[in-house]
Amino acid sequence: MQYYKTTEGKDKITCLLCRHYCQLKEGQVGVCGVNKNINGELQTLVYGHPIALNVDPVEKKPLYHLLPSSTALSFGTVGCNFKCPFCQNWDISQETHINKSIEVSPEKMVDLALQNGAASIAYTYNEPTIFYPYAKDIGIIAKQRGLKNIFVSNGFETKEIIEDMPQWLDAANIDLKSWDDAYYKKVLKGGLEEVKDTLRRMVSAGIWVEVTTLLIEGKYDSDKDLEEMATFIADELGYHVPWHLSAFHPDYKMKDHKYTALTTLQRASKIAKKAGLYYVYLGNVPVHGDTFCPHCDTLLIDRTGYSVTINNLKDGHCPKCNRTIEGVWK
pLDDT per residue as tens digits for the range 138-154: 999 999 999 999 999 99
pTM value? 0.97
Could you tell me if residue 293 is inside a domain?
no
Domain holding 306, by residue range, is 298-330
Clarify whether residues 183 and 325 are in a common domain: no
Could you give the CA distance from residue 57 to residue 69 in angstroms, rounded to a whole number? 7
User: How far, in whole angstroms, is CA 176 from its chain's centroid?
Assistant: 10
Clarify whether residues 127 and 258 are in a common domain: yes
Clarify whether residues 60 and 209 are in a common domain: yes
Clarify whether residues 109 and 239 are in a common domain: yes
Could you give the CA distance from residue 177 to residue 237 in angstroms, rounded to a whole number? 16
Could you give the CA distance from residue 22 to residue 30 in angstroms, rounded to a whole number? 6
* pLDDT computed for residue 303 by the predictor: 96
Clarify whether residues 28 and 156 are in a common domain: no
* pLDDT computed for residue 9 by the predictor: 67
User: Which parts of the chain have pLDDT scores under 70?
Assistant: 9
* pLDDT computed for residue 318 by the predictor: 98
Give how many domains the chain has, as a whole number.
Answer: 3
Could you tell me if residue 292 is inside a domain?
no
CATH number of the structural domain spanning residue 85: 3.20.20.70
* pLDDT computed for residue 85 by the predictor: 96
203: left (phi over 0), alpha (psi -120 to 50) or beta: alpha
